[in-house]
């Protein structure tokens, strides 16, 4: 309201007001109900007012006496209230229509977030990036998605950069790659879809679904296809995500592990539901009932005459005329077996036919242009294949054929393949500096130990032990048939001996990294599956170094069949017969005369070889009987459980829960460690840190290569977190910077 002028006088006690209004208004008087219009007209007539209205606003010039001023205000207020009500209803209807349209079009709401690099000092990530899952060319470089982050290689194979969570990746376990919209898109195992423009990573989080894993990505004609394990088949045009469903009942495609396009046909391979083919928005479906050798599809090649489908059990073929979508009915049982090939991992088309590859790298060719036989014939490729290759699959890129393996990348020119090829020792040559000799054996770090010389021993569930220097360089790999599945590691610093609890017994290594002994059921262990061990004896005052090195250890061993106590050949067993709550033991801790044993059925306290007390959910505040970890911090004993979080055994002999502060966390076996006044706890969702001075808990997750923390150790300066994605080495001052 503007240009207001008020003039007053004594005559008749009237107030003359000239009001020049120009108020934007989305409605006119015609939008008001007839009854309301009549009321307003009578009131305005009584005031001898003249009202002019327009579509964009209205203008009043009238004379008011004091008694009519209140009525005018009420009329104007009523006008605006009615208009606001109409606007609100209109907006609500529009919103409801938009929501209905989104549901009809399967639009997926999402959040897009830039992920900046972690710039604080004192954080290092040590991982293996040999296990390669996908490769793509982007910005004149080759990028590889690995189990240990994203690596960038030059065209000649030189390692340019290794990207990890420090650089902005949400996790290190990467599964798929595709170039779309001038960006590199990355499918992860647990953190959804990520894009990279060469400098900054961005994450796309779908608010209405959990993809679980994104195993495959495909760019085609300005659209990105995203194949997820649990979130469906998703299309992305750069602005919106839409789930692609089948038919009027909107059937969802799940557990997608393969995507490809040939002409107008889209091929969708699933983990357990066979092959789906889309052409012109029409879908067809083929499973074992139609002749496929397995419902897990790992590759598709289509030509004019035939459609070849590779599953994890072998190769099948069907004539394209049998599968034509214009046919009124697709013939059932149209596929026939070409070859039964267990562990077939994929296939790719070559200029002369098809290359098929098994999980261990064994390869075969098949001539698709040979019409002399109804069933194509496979030819074995004999090449210098390393015996330790696993997770092998073939990929076509830049007119070359690539092999992605557990031990890095190999490449062969497509012209090297011929259907008649029999032998070549240089078929797939190593490509790229993956630093296989200086990286971890595995990223699945189940056990950690810092020895007296400052070396980090990192044990894995499948690949033995890596011994690492303080700068992250791997000094040695210790892997034998016995030293392969490592559950925990302890050290006797007096004898400079490391003991490894494994699935094949208890192994002993000297300071020179040589295995010098082992304990098994032959030596009296209740089981060869040893989860953890605790030293019970100390070096005698008059014992020489040689005597100490040669003597047997007095140990308590937590096994899958009870607790073994003693020395080799003279072991005593404690089981449920003697009062253990369960024979499945996961943790053991010695403190003075007492031994604490964490079992599947509760916590046991042992004194002088006798069970004196048991804590379970029936006689204590323990909520989950599965006790996985034990540690002492500041003289206080802490108990980790699988699903119940952390408890403390108080001086009064009772368990106290921290679930109110930390939630009912899953504490992993071997993932509890303390130093001075801090307790570190590894869970399925990062690590928890308890400060005994402040009695406060904090969580560490963004800095870790993976959220699942399996083991923890450290010293006065650093803490080492062993995860399912490698090792994070964090200076203790790092958290002071955060504060």
Edge-first strand listing for the sheet containing 667-675? 667-675, 678-683, 686-691, 696-700
DSSP symbol at 626: -
Decide: residue 618, CB within 10 A, 0-12 exposed, 13-18 middle, 19+ buried. exposed
- pLDDT for position 101: 55
43 with 75: CB under 8 angstroms?
Answer: yes
How many whole angstroms separate alpha carbon 462 and alpha carbon 547? 34
* Those residues with Cβ within 8 angstroms of residue 610's Cβ, 6 or more apart along the chain or in another chain: 578
Q: Look at residue 281 in the predicted model and tell me its pLDDT.
A: 86
Percentage of the residues of the chain whose pLDDT score is greater than 90: 66
Considering only CA atoms, give the Rg of the chain.
36
pLDDT at 237: 96
Query: At 232, phi and psi to the nearest 5?
Result: 90, 180
Q: Can you list the residues of the chain whose pLDDT is less than 70?
A: 1-69, 94-105, 324-333, 369-376, 414-426, 433-438, 537-553, 737-739
Say what the pLDDT of residue 27 is.
Answer: 43
pLDDT at 643: 96
> For the segment 130-181, what is each residue's pLDDT rounded down to a tens digit?
999 999 999 999 999 999 999 999 999 999 999 999 999 999 999 999 999 9
What CA–CA distance (Å, rounded) separates 558 from 563? 5
Query: Mapped to the 3 state alphabet, what secondary structure does 483-517 carry?
Result: CCCEEEEEEECCCCEEEEEECCEEEEECCCCCEEE
At residue 87, the pLDDT reads 84
Q: Find out whether 449 and 493 touch, Cβ atoms under 8 Å.
A: no
Q: What is the pLDDT of residue 103?
A: 52
pTM to 2 decimals? 0.81
Cα dist from 242 to 102, 245, 359, whole Å: 9, 9, 34
Give the Å distances, CA to CA, from 539 to 490, 542, 550, 566, 630.
16, 8, 12, 15, 24
Q: Are 159 and 153 in contact (CB under 8 A)?
A: yes
Q: Which string of DSSP letters, residue by residue, matches 206-241? A: ETT-----EEEEEEETTEEEEEESSS-EEEE-SS-E
Helical axes 34-46 vs 66-104, angle rounded to 10°? 160
CATH classification of 110-116+131-254, choosing from 3.50.50.60, 2.130.10.10, 3.90.600.10, 2.170.190.11?
Answer: 2.130.10.10
In whole angstroms, give the CA distance from residue 491 to residue 630. Answer: 17
Q: Enter the CATH code of domain 450-519.
A: 2.40.10.480
pLDDT of residue 54: 41
Strand ordering across the sheet containing 465-468: 445-450, 456-460, 465-468, 474-478
Q: What is the CATH number of domain 616-739?
A: 2.130.10.10
Q: Is 335 helix (H, G, I), strand (E, B) or coil?
A: coil
- Is 689 exposed, middle or buried (CB count within 10 Å of its CB: 0-12, 13-18, 19+)? middle
Residue 230 tokens read as 């649990």
């Amino acid at each position: 309201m503007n240009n207001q002028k008020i003039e007053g006088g004594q005559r008749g006690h009237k107030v003359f007001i000239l009001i020049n209004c120009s108020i934007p208004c989305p409605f006119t008087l015609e939008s008001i109900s007839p009854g309301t219009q009549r009321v307003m007209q009578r009131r305005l007539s009584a005031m001898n007012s003249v009202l002019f209205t327009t579509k964009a606003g209205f203008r009043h010039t009238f004379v008011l006496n004091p008694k009519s001023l209140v009525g005018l205000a009420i009329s104007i207020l009523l006008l605006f209230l009615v208009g606001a009500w109409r606007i609100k209803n209109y907006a609500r209807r529009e919103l409801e229509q938009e929501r209905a349209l989104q549901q009809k079009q399967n639009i997926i709401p999402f959040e897009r977030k830039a992920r900046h690099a972690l710039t604080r000092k004192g954080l290092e990530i040590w991982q293996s990036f040999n296990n390669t899952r996908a490769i793509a060319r982007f910005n004149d470089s080759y990028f590889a998605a690995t189990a240990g982050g994203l690596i960038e290689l030059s065209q000649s194979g030189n390692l340019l950069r290794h990207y990890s969570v420090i650089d902005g990746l949400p996790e290190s376990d990467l599964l798929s790659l595709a170039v779309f919209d001038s960006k590199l898109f990355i499918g992860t195992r647990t953190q959804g879809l990520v894009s990279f423009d060469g400098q900054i990573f961005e994450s796309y989080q779908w608010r209405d679904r959990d993809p679980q894993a994104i195993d495959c990505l495909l760019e085609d004609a300005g659209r990105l296809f995203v194949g997820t394990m649990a979130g469906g088949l998703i299309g992305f045009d750069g602005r919106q995500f839409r789930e692609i469903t089948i038919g009027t009942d909107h059937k969802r495609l799940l557990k997608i592990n393969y995507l490809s396009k040939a002409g107008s046909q889209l091929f969708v391979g699933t983990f357990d539901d066979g092959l789906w083919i889309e052409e012109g928005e029409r879908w067809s479906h083929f499973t074992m009932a139609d002749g496929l050798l397995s419902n897990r599809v790992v590759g598709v090649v289509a030509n004019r005459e035939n459609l070849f489908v590779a599953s994890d059990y072998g190769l099948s073929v069907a004539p394209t005329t049998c599968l034509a979508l214009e046919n009124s009915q697709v013939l059932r049982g149209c596929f026939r077996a070409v070859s039964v090939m267990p562990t077939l991992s994929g296939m790719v088309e070559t200029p002369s036919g098809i290359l098929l590859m098994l999980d261990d790298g064994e390869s075969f060719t098949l001539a698709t242009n040979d019409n002399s036989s109804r069933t194509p014939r496979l030819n074995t490729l004999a090449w210098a294949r390393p015996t330790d290759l696993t997770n092998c699959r073939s990929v076509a890129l830049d007119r070359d054929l690539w092999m992605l393996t557990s031990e890095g990348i190999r490449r062969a020119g497509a012209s090297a393949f011929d259907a008649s090829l029999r032998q070549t020792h240089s078929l797939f040559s190593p490509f790229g500096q993956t630093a296989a000799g200086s990286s971890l054996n595995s990223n699945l770090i189940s056990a950690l130990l810092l020895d007296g010389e400052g070396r980090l021993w990192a044990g894995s569930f499948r690949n033995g032990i890596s011994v690492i220097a303080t700068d992250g360089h791997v000094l040695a790999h210790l892997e034998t048939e016995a030293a392969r599945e490592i559950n925990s590691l302890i050290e006797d610093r007096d004898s400079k001996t490391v003991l490894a609890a494994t699935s094949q017994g208890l192994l002993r290594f000297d300071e020179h990294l040589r295995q010098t002994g082992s304990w098994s059921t032959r030596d009296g262990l209740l089981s060869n599956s040893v989860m953890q061990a605790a030293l019970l004896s100390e070096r005698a005052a008059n014992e020489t170094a040689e005597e100490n090195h040669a003597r047997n250890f007095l140990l308590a061993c937590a096994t899958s069949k009870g607790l073994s106590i003693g020395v080799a050949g003279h072991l005593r067993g404690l089981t449920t017969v003697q009062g253990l709550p369960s024979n499945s033991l996961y943790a053991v801790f010695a403190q003075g005369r007492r031994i604490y044993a964490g079992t599947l059925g509760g916590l046991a306290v042992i004194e002088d070889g006798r069970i004196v007390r048991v804590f379970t959910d029936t006689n204590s505040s323990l909520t989950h009987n599965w006790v996985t970890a034990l540690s002492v911090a500041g003289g206080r004993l802490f108990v980790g459980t699988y699903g119940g979080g952390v408890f403390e055994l108080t001086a009064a002999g009772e368990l106290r829960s921290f679930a109110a502060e930390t939630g009912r966390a899953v504490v992993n076996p071997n993932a509890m460690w303390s130093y001075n006044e801090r307790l570190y706890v590894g869970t399925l969702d990062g690590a928890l840190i308890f400060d005994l001075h402040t009695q406060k808990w904090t969580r560490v997750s963004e800095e870790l290569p993976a959220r699942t923390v399996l083991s923890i150790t450290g010293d006065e300066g650093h803490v080492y977190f062993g995860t399912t994605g490698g090792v994070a080495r964090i200076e203790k001052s790092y958290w002071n910077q955060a504060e």
